[in-house]
Amino acid sequence: MTHRLAVAVEAPQYSGLGGLLDYLGGPLPPGSLVRAPLGRREVPGVVWDAPPADPAQAPLPDEALRPVAQVLSSLPPLSAAWRQLVAFTSAYYQRGLGEVALSVLPPELRKLDDEKLARRIAKLRKSAEKGATPDAGTAAESAETAKPAVPDAGLEPTLTEDQRAAVEAVTAGADSTFLLHGVTGSGKTEVYLQAAAHTLAQGRQALVLVPEINLTPQLEARFAERFRGRRLVSLHSGLTPAQRLKNWLLAHLGLADLVLGTRLAVFASLPRLGLIVVDEEHDPSYKQQEGARYSARDLAVYRGRLERAPVLLGSATPSLESWQRAQQGRYKRLDLAQRIGGGVLPEVRLVDMSLLPRTHGVTTALSPQLVDALRERLALGEQSLLFLNRRGYAPVLHCTECGWKSGCPHCSAWRVFHRSDRTLRCHHCGFTERVPRACPQCGNLDLQPLGRGTERLEEQIAEALPGARVARIDADTTRAAGALQERLAAVHAGEVDVLVGTQMIAKGHDFRRITLVAAVNPDSALFASDFRAPERLFALLMQAAGRAGRDASQAARSQMWLQTWHPTHPLYAALRRHDFERFAASQLAERESAGLPPYTHLALLRAEARTVEAATAFLEDAAARAGEFTEAAEVLIYPAVPPPVARVADVERMQMLLEAASRGALQRLLWQWMPVLYELRAAHKGLIRWAVDVDPLAI
């Protein structure tokens, strides 16, 4: 007997609503993994719930359908909730169902046949029974897995009043979303830990999301220490394919109690999900920037509602979206008002750079005041941290005679001067050349760097503070495996006096000996065209400030220095008072009057082509076709414009913004429009790529 199966496969073309193809096969529950023929290939697929019959279209006769090739029957089917999450992601972010479903499953799953998979699963179950531990990629290792209930009494500190109220609210509030607002060191992680302990004690699983893979080991260590005897697995892109499969399987089989991971972990299959934590919920890394451009934070909220699990969003500087929802009462706000142990936040000091005597050529020098402060910390044996959001020696090299600058021939961007290997490198396309001996335009031998990057800052610090041990952490110094951990360990061990780096070092790290943090040149974000730039800058500076004085005994003397040309800017005024609420209120007022999110809803249509004309033509045709739909009346479609970096690797980019007061109206238009865009794409031969970005981070 043959049954009809609706299967989600990665179809090469847009396969319409749902993206399901019909196959023949035995009776299989939805959520089963199969392999199915597609053209001349055999592709993985997930058996889906049969869509309602379409009265406008007669179904294909059985004879026209092909049978599925293989069934991975040893894998328990993916749950209805998981399928619903995938279906929502596909619909909301306008990508094929099969594409989303398969891109969020571990890639190894595609390679194994049923027999191999069955053996792996049997092995995992067996080792779980013995209480033996999963190895690589798994942090909590213990022989007591079988022991039930709260294994961690005694390790927990007594909660503060605020923390207790937060834990109680979360543990009592099935299917609510909570916004936990508290500065660095106010005890947010302790709230996550105790909320998770409660979830585990109920026999349910907890999912904890962190923005960056670099930050997973620290949080993982803390969870592992607390939950000895529980099985904790991580899911992030830094795992080997085999580790990722194993950890995913442990979660899917219900053998892991806790899953800790980056944005892709929001799709982990968790049969007993009881809590979702999103740490640093404001962080832009939660937004996927290719394929289905989903926001893991937003999907976490959706998933929590779907599976009746509380969602705990934590941040010192919540996103304005979440903040507004909390104000509207859609999220429950929980505040941790103080740093644990009464630690105070660092004093914020502004250095007015416009008052400094102008030294030739150099605009953003180190101020003498800051150098003095660094010298003082050095004498006391305390550490300082300086950050600058630019790697390399200088962002541009220029000719003092004719004004030539080190542009990239393939991009609309400058090539960065890297002094260590005397190269000019494009940070957009990677194009690298040795620094020319003379100006390529006039032959002048005097080529000078303009501005500064971390490499130059490191050099300047070393000159200004002879004898100081200076370390630099940025993408250039941490490329080698283990290099980052090694450098961080040196900082923790007190082998470094001054740490210089990009924003990589401003986030999350629990440095104990740092008493001074300085932002060398934070101004550029104040006047950026990106409407979220101030929000991001404020979050970064608050977070950086949180790196100072983490040890309560030193907190009173800790300082955060800002070198600025705009010392009266309201953003800095709010930062001085560590006043997120005031900052958020002023930002929200600005967003409201400018008609920006969260007061409006946006989508971007991006196009890439060899020529600006080809990219623009596609967007203009797309806009014209959108006008045919009645939904377009509620959506404002802006003219096509180039993004800030318009040309990358000889490809021209253009984009078009869609804005609507209602999320529903925007979604309805996108739904109508997508098939048209696929159709148009075929007609525009000059087009290389196009994509829709719903709720884009930058416009």
Which positions make up the binding site for Zn(2+)? Answer: 399, 402, 408, 411, 426, 429, 439, 442
Which is nearer to Zn ion, 66 or 689 (by Cβ)? 689
Point out which span in 159-167, 303-311, 399-407, 649-657 binds ligand ADP (CB under 6 A): 159-167
Closest approach of ligand ADP to the CB of residue 496, in Å: 21
User: Are the beta carbons of 503 and 386 closer than 8 angstroms?
Assistant: no
Among residues 401, 405, 500, the alpha carbon closest in space to that of 449 is found at 405
Residues in the annotated binding site = 399, 402, 408, 411, 426, 429, 439, 442
Q: Does 361 engage in binding with ligand ADP (CB under 6 A)?
A: no
Q: Does 157 engage in binding with ligand ADP (CB under 6 A)?
A: yes
Which is nearer to ligand ADP, 311 or 500 (by Cβ)? 311
404 binds, among ligand ADP, Zn ion, none (CB under 5 to 8 A by kind): Zn ion
Member of 160, 324, 454, 587 binding ligand ADP (CB under 6 A): 160
Point out which span in 82-90, 180-188, 296-304, 317-325 binds ligand ADP (CB under 6 A): 180-188
How many other CB atoms sit within 10 Å of the CB of residue 118? Answer: 15
- The residue behind tokens 């971390």 is 454
The Cα 117–Cα 242 span in angstroms is 12
Residue 402's SS3 state is coil
Give the phi and the psi of residue 44 in degrees, each rounded to 5: -75, 150
Member of 17, 24, 150, 159 binding ligand ADP (CB under 6 A): 159
Closest approach of ligand ADP to the CB of residue 562, in Å: 22
Sign of CA dihedral 563, 539, 603, 286: positive
Sign of CA dihedral 500, 501, 507, 509: negative
The Cα 517–Cα 511 span in angstroms is 11
The Cα 383–Cα 472 span in angstroms is 13
Closest approach of ligand ADP to the CB of residue 184, in Å: 5
Closest approach of Zn ion to the CB of residue 642, in Å: 15
Closest approach of ligand ADP to the CB of residue 158, in Å: 6
Which is nearer to Zn ion, 107 or 440 (by Cβ)? 440
The Cα 660–Cα 219 span in angstroms is 39
Give the phi and the psi of residue 8 in degrees, each rounded to 5: -85, 115
402 binds, among Zn ion, ligand ADP, none (CB under 5 to 8 A by kind): Zn ion
User: Are the beta carbons of 388 and 366 closer than 8 angstroms?
Assistant: no
Q: Which residues inside 396-455 make contact with Zn ion, applying CB under 5 A? A: 399, 401-402, 404, 408, 410-411, 426, 428-429, 431, 439, 441-442, 444
Q: Does 559 engage in binding with ligand ADP (CB under 6 A)?
A: no
Contacts of 299 (CB under 8 A, 6+ apart): 85, 88, 89, 266, 267
426 binds, among ligand ADP, Zn ion, none (CB under 5 to 8 A by kind): Zn ion
Q: Does 646 engage in binding with Zn ion (CB under 5 A)?
A: no
Closest approach of Zn ion to the CB of residue 237, in Å: 25
Q: Does 236 engage in binding with ligand ADP (CB under 6 A)?
A: no
**Residue 677 is inside which H or E element, if any?**
helix 663-683
The Cα 374–Cα 385 span in angstroms is 9
Q: Which residues inside 182-201 make contact with ligand ADP, applying CB under 6 A? A: 182, 184-190
User: Are the beta carbons of 669 and 630 closer than 8 angstroms?
Assistant: no
The Cα 495–Cα 491 span in angstroms is 6
Interface positions with Zn ion (CB under 5 A):
399, 401-402, 404, 408, 410-411, 426, 428-429, 431, 439, 441-442, 444
Could you list the residues that contact ligand ADP (CB under 6 A)? 157-160, 163, 182, 184-190, 340
